[in-house]
Chain A
Amino acid sequence: MARVLLSTLATFTHKVSPIQLIRTSTAITHAPRYLSTTRGVLSERKYTEKHEWVAVDGKIGTIGITNYAQEALGDIVYIQLPEVGTEFEQMEECGVLESVKAASDLFTPVSGKVTEINSAIEDRPELLNISCYDEGWLFKLELTVPSELDGLMDEAGYENFLQENKE
């Protein structure tokens, strides 16, 4: 078989020429907004433009992705969480979410050292789709630069952000 393939390779002269794409019409509209029902019960969540959230309790922040993100990703089949003890800077890649044949990077909304990961979700990735704000939390970290929270959006700000980006 190898010999046959070698002769095929010898005649292979296909060149790579990147093709540019120019949009001719606007994007398709997507899922409706989601309103949080746990507002005011836990310490308030803050949000990033990459659709991650962080809920702070003292020095520990719990991190997850928003409903908008889990809907956009589709059924999650595999989650790669960071290792406990690893330190990250704000917006550094810290894990991967795999859904429907696509792998997406997970970014940390704030700098810190990972203290705990949600092992339940590693075995049941669908929890991330079903309950992204509660059982679907991803990992906790000890904040090293708490002032970063001031730069993130609150719930109202995030809702506005979603609305603005719908157009």
Chain B
Amino acid sequence: MRYLPAWELQKRIAARVMANVKEGKEARHTLLLLEHYPVFTTGIRKSDYTPEVEAQLKSTGADFHRTNRGGLITFHGPGQLIAYPILHLSSFSPGIKWYVCALERTVIRTLRGLGIHAHTSPHTGVWVGENKICALGLQGRHVTTHGLGLNCNTDLQWFTHIVPCGIPDKGVTSVTQELRRETTISQVEPHFLKAFAEVFKCQLVFS
């Protein structure tokens, strides 16, 4: 799915969740799982990325969008599992700090189920050794949007055009690279859904 329509969808769902909460109705928190066409995105600290940088990245054939999430520049594309949880945070735990940790824990559990030992670091995101396997970038104090991107069989060459999340001297990796065998989003998804339900203590209802 292209980035902008996905973002529009998130905003619509977030508005609905917010309205539900205000009216005292069931919040209907939602988890969106999808895959993007190649796109580079930046967070609110957009001045680090000039029009020249934008043009250079667009010349690779990817889209480029400046967003309202936290975090710096990253890449999304085929082979990367994207999860956008649109939650009314207070229904779970009111802190963004807690939410970031909960998402990181979810990914670590997911990877454990696949036989990969991953960890967190002061840099946020989920790491395997010195390489980042999953990036996080969020928005919203009350209802959350944006989320995470977990590299399954992403073409990691795309990341060579940027300093991912503004962290130099560190690399990127994927489930495929770590397991040394092709692993697709469909194979990772069930582990992710199970981990998410466990960490966020919720039931998943599929529509």
CB A147 to nearest CB in B, in angstroms, measures 23
Instruction: Decide: A5 and B155 in contact? CB cutoff 8 A.
Output: yes
Assess whether B28 is in contact with A103, with CB atoms less than 8 Å apart: no
Q: At the interface, yes or no: B185 with Cβ under 8 Å from chain A?
A: yes
Q: Please, which residues of chain B bring their CB within 8 A of the CB of A23?
A: 29, 91-92, 201-202
- With A and B bound together, what is the CA distance between A18 and B87 in angstroms? 12
Whole-angstrom CA separation of A25 from B198 in the bound complex: 11
Q: Tell me the nearest residue of chain A to B145, going by C-beta.
A: A103
Is B95 an interface position by the 8 A CB rule? yes
| Residues of A80-126 contacting chain B, CB below 8 A | 80, 96, 98-105
Closest approach, in angstroms, between the C-beta of B89 and any C-beta of chain A? 9
Please tell me if the beta carbons of B203 and A27 are within 8 angstroms of each other in the complex.
no
Rounded to whole Å, the gap between the CB of A137 and the closest CB of chain B is 19
Q: Which of B44, B61, B200 contacts A103 (CB 8 A)?
A: B44
A residues contacting the other copy or chain, number (CB 8 A) = 41
Q: Does B78 contact A (CB under 8 A)?
A: yes
* Separation of A147 and B110 alpha carbons in the complex (Å): 52
A35 interface residue per 8 A CB criterion: no
The interface residues of chain B lying within 8 Å CB-to-CB of A12 are 35, 37, 78
Chain A residues, CB < 8 A from B117: none
**Bitwise interface map of B from 20 to 47 toward A, beta carbon under 8 Å scored 1, else 0:** 0000000011111111011000011100
| CA of A80 to CA of B139, assembled, Å | 14
B44 touching A98, Cβ below 8 Å:
yes
Q: Are A74 and B43 in contact (CB under 8 A)?
A: no
Q: Which of B70, B87, B93 contacts A99 (CB 8 A)?
A: B70
**Residues in B whose Cβ lies below 8 Å from that of A102:** 69-70, 96, 99-100, 137-140, 144
Q: Are A2 and B61 in contact (CB under 8 A)?
A: yes
29 contacts between A and B (CB under 8 A): A1-B155, A2-B61, A9-B37, A16-B32, A19-B205, A20-B29, A20-B204, A21-B30, A21-B205, A23-B201, A27-B92, A28-B98, A30-B93, A30-B94, A31-B95, A73-B141, A74-B95, A98-B44, A99-B70, A99-B97, A100-B70, A100-B124, A101-B70, A101-B71, A101-B124, A101-B125, A102-B138, A103-B43, A105-B141
With A5-B61, A18-B31, A20-B205 given, name 17 new contacts (CB 8 A). A1-B155, A16-B1, A16-B6, A17-B206, A20-B204, A21-B30, A21-B85, A22-B205, A71-B97, A73-B96, A74-B95, A101-B100, A102-B140, A102-B144, A103-B43, A103-B70, A105-B140
